[in-house]
């Protein structure tokens, strides 16, 4: 893939993708097309998020998703937008979404493509009403089963190391699409005045940092390793800063730019943690590793995990490699976990 320094200011996402594709003589254009679908969905969701208060889109939709979680209206909208943006352009064969009970095959009226997309259409949606930053998370697998046949579980219930790309779209003070491929991590900022994403963060690399991000309200339920890790940060000669937005994409994005660590550990009430493996932890772990960081479940590397089910949960420790290594060392020493 093209090196980031080849791209000057004003490079659009489309130009970045087309220039990069030229380095892959066997590329069919499906991947580029898929990324453009993601960008379209991002633009549509951004416009709606920014007007949610006016468009009657705040609050819950009244329903619950397959996990019994109250679904915010924008969750449903985002899920529909991603499906509509992905299913008719011949690059995707199946979608797994937090908002769908099972995998969604591309309708037979459309050409089925080579890619499987895993999605959290709008993570952090409980923050929507208080105008906090939220985001969409996606992972991209190349299908294993033959093109033209119906995709199966085999194409998506697989280790995170099988990912070929991942990313997130963060809806905050601006809208930023961050894309990770084998070549690195690149950020594109939406200019809403022209409706284009422009390269704004070439070759993102996570620095060593001193920020920890965890919900300390659960401290009484933490395993001993987490307690000793956080105590160590607070008692350090130069104590670490605590930052917790309560929106996974926002907390992880901040740590990618500034370094540090985000933790969502298991608790006795949630022995597998809260976050989803296939469409939250895998995509973010792939991206953070491509940015030079690390991600574990407190014991093993996230991308080495094998899901049993598309909605599996996992504890998550993600951030700069040194911080993740230290947290994992203490957490994995716990006999009780
Ligand atoms: P808690 C938002 O609901 C979310 O799924 C993630 O975005 C976020 O990191 C986490 O849950 C926050 O959970 O238990 O700290 O409120």
Question: What's the pLDDT tens digit per position in 294-333?
Answer: 999 999 999 999 999 999 999 999 999 999 999 999 999 9
With a 6 Å cutoff on the Cβ, whether 246 touches ligand 1 is yes
Q: Each residue of 75-96: b (16+ CB within 10 Å) or e? A: bbbbbebbbebbbebbbbbbbb
How many helical (H) and strand (E) elements, i.e. helices and strands, does the chain have? 7, 15
CA of 53 to the centre of ligand 1 (A): 22
For helices 73-86 and 30-50, what crossing angle results, to 10°? 150
Write the pLDDT tens digit of every residue in 134-181: 999 999 999 999 988 899 999 999 999 999 999 999 999 999 999 999
Q: Is 15 within 8 Å of 185 (Cβ atoms)?
A: no
What distance in Å separates the CA atoms of residue 40 and residue 300, rounded to the nearest whole number?
Answer: 35
**CA torsion angle 275 277 283 287 (round to 10):** 80
**Dihedral pair phi/psi, residue 123, rounded to 5°:** -85, 145
Determine the atom of ligand 1 nearest the C-alpha atom of 247.
Answer: 7
Q: Name the pTM for this structure.
A: 0.94
215 lines ligand 1 (CB under 6 A): yes
Q: What is the DSSP string of 187-207?
A: EEEEETTTTEEEEEETT--PP
CATH 3.30.950.10 assigned to 4-201:
no
* CATH fold for domain 211-332: D-Maltodextrin-Binding Protein; domain 2 (3.40.190)
Q: What stretches of 12-87 show up as alpha helix (H) in DSSP? A: 13-21, 30-50, 73-86
Nearest CA to ligand 1 atom 16: 246
Q: Is 126 in the pocket of ligand 1 (CB under 6 A)?
A: yes
Return the domain boundaries, the chain.
4-201, 211-332
Give the residue whose CA is nearest to atom 4 of ligand 1. 124
Give 247 Cα–ligand 1 centroid separation in angstroms. Answer: 6
pLDDT in tens, 112-142: 899 999 999 999 877 877 888 999 999 999 9
Q: Ligand 1 within 6 A of 270 CB?
A: no
Decide if pLDDT at 219 tops 80.
yes
d(C-alpha 101, C-alpha 71), whole Å: 13
């Amino acid at each position: 893939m093209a090196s980031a320094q080849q791209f000057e200011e004003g490079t659009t996402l489309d130009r970045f993708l087309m220039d990069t594709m030229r380095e892959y003589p066997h590329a069919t254009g499906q991947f580029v097309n898929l990324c453009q679908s993601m960008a379209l969905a991002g633009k549509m969701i951004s416009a709606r998020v920014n007007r949610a208060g006016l468009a009657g889109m705040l609050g819950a939709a009244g329903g619950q998703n397959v996990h019994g979680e109250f679904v915010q209206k924008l969750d449903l909208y985002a899920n529909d937008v991603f499906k509509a943006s992905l299913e008719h352009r011949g690059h995707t064969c199946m979608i797994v979404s937090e908002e769908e009970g099972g995998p969604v095959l591309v309708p037979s009226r459309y050409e089925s493509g080579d890619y499987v997309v895993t999605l959290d259409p709008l993570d952090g949606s409980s923050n929507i009403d208080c105008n906090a930053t939220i985001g969409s998370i996606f992972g991209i697998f190349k299908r294993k089963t033959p093109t033209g046949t119906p995709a199966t579980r085999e194409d998506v219930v697989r280790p995170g190391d099988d990912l070929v790309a991942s990313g997130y779209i963060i809806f905050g003070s601006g809208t930023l699409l961050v894309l990770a491929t084998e070549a690195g991590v690149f950020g594109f900022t939406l200019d809403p005045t022209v409706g284009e994403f422009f390269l704004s963060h070439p070759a993102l690399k996570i620095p060593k940092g001193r920020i920890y991000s965890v919900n300390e309200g659960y401290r009484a339920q933490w395993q001993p390793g987490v307690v000793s890790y956080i105590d160590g940060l607070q008692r350090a000669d130069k104590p670490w800063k605590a930052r917790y937005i309560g929106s996974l994409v926002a907390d992880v994005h901040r740590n990618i730019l500034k370094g540090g660590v985000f933790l969502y550990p298991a608790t006795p009430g949630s022995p597998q943690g809260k976050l989803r493996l296939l469409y939250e932890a895998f995509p973010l772990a792939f991206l953070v590793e491509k940015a030079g960081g690390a991600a574990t479940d407190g014991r093993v590397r996230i991308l080495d995990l094998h899901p049993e089910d598309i909605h599996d949960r996992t504890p998550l420790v993600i951030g700069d490699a040194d911080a993740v290594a230290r947290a994992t060392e203490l957490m994995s020493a716990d006999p009780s976990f």
